[in-house]
Amino acid sequence: MNKKTNPKFYQKIKARTVFISFVIAVALTSCTKNNDELTAEAQANALHQENIKNGRLGGQDITYERKNGMNFFQGDIVLSDKQLAGENSVDKGGASYSRWPGGKIYYTVASNMGSINANKITSAVNEYNSKTNTQWIPRTNQTNYVEFIFGSSSGSDGWAHIGYQGGRQTISLDQYISVASVIHEMGHTVGLYHEHSRKDRDQYISIQWNNIQSGQAYNFNIYNSGTDIGPFNINSVMMYWPNSYSKNGQPTIIRANNTTFTYNRTGFTTGDINTINTMYP
């Protein structure tokens, strides 16, 4: 017995075939996009790992990143090749090599800095000149000086050479950096390392290693060759943020008693001022 052909039946099959094909096409497109993203991420990670170097600072083995012809330690500290090569005490970070003679720091501001950051620099300079024994002085013809240079037009970060190195050295500032973070970068120029890398830090804070981005854990190592001055200060202008280098939005630094803390970088604490004035009596 012959069955009658049902046109609506074939229309439904055709429609389902088209729909299924569409779903498959979308799924393949999504997979391709995800693979592309994963490939780009893998390439970025590979490039980052290629730039990770091992060196010595003040006689201590450290890990740093080499990029744009500079040596970045703990993210925003720039070390000179001389600092990395030195074993002698005069090359130690935090030793006399890193101090500015007489506490006088001559500076200039790049012409492309713009008025917003120039005003922030002025505010930060006033903080140093009014509260510490260092004096930031506009450069005339000095050969040893700091130049504030413009970084990113969309970022809010910065970086700086650590301590006194001689010749021209730089502090880079992004467009949206805060005044307190300008003070932070200037702190590196003065010779300050990060608060979280102090030798006694584990008595006060706990590093949450599982929350740190892949390949960034070295930024949380203790810097044993530095000199700790005064008590640990969780509110120091030189402190890392609680979620610095977080891979999942969770804290990478908490208190030693396993409680979180709120950190507002607003400027100098009394401890910061005392530390700088101990370095520059």
CA distance 254 to 160: 26
Residues forming the active site: 185
204, pLDDT greater than 70: yes
Q: Which of 9-23, 52-66, 206-220, 261-275 is least confident?
A: 9-23
Higher pLDDT, 230 or 32: 230
Q: What are residue 71's phi and psi, to 5 degrees?
A: -110, 110
149, pLDDT greater than 60: yes
Q: Tell me how far apart the terminal alpha carbons of the chain are, to the nearest angstrom.
A: 109
Confidence of residue 35 (pLDDT cuts 50, 70, 90): low
Strands (E), the chain: 52-57, 60-67, 70-73, 77-79, 104-109, 135-138, 145-150, 158-161, 168-173, 205-207, 253-255
Confidence of residue 87 (pLDDT cuts 50, 70, 90): low
266, pLDDT greater than 80: yes
Confidence of residue 49 (pLDDT cuts 50, 70, 90): low
Q: How many C-beta atoms surround the C-beta of residue 254 within 10 A?
A: 17
CA distance 178 to 171: 14
Known binding residue 48? Answer is no
CA distance 25 to 2: 38
CB 272 within 8 A of CB 236: yes
145, pLDDT greater than 60: yes
Q: How do residues 151-166 score in pLDDT, each as one tens digit?
A: 999 999 999 999 998 9
Mean pLDDT confidence for 227-242: 95
Mean pLDDT confidence for 265-271: 95
Q: What is the mean pLDDT of the chain?
A: 84
Known binding residue 161? Answer is no
Residue 39: the pLDDT is 52
Confidence of residue 24 (pLDDT cuts 50, 70, 90): very low
Confidence of residue 138 (pLDDT cuts 50, 70, 90): very high
Residue 1: the pLDDT is 44
Residue 129: the pLDDT is 98
Residue type, 195: E
31: Cβ contacts below 8 Å, ≥ 6 apart: none
Residue 97: the pLDDT is 52
Q: Is the full-model pTM beyond 0.85?
A: no
CA distance 183 to 14: 68
92, pLDDT greater than 60: no
DSSP assignment of 139-187 equals -SS-SSEEEEEE--SS---EEEE-S--SSEEEEEE-TT--HHHHHHHHH
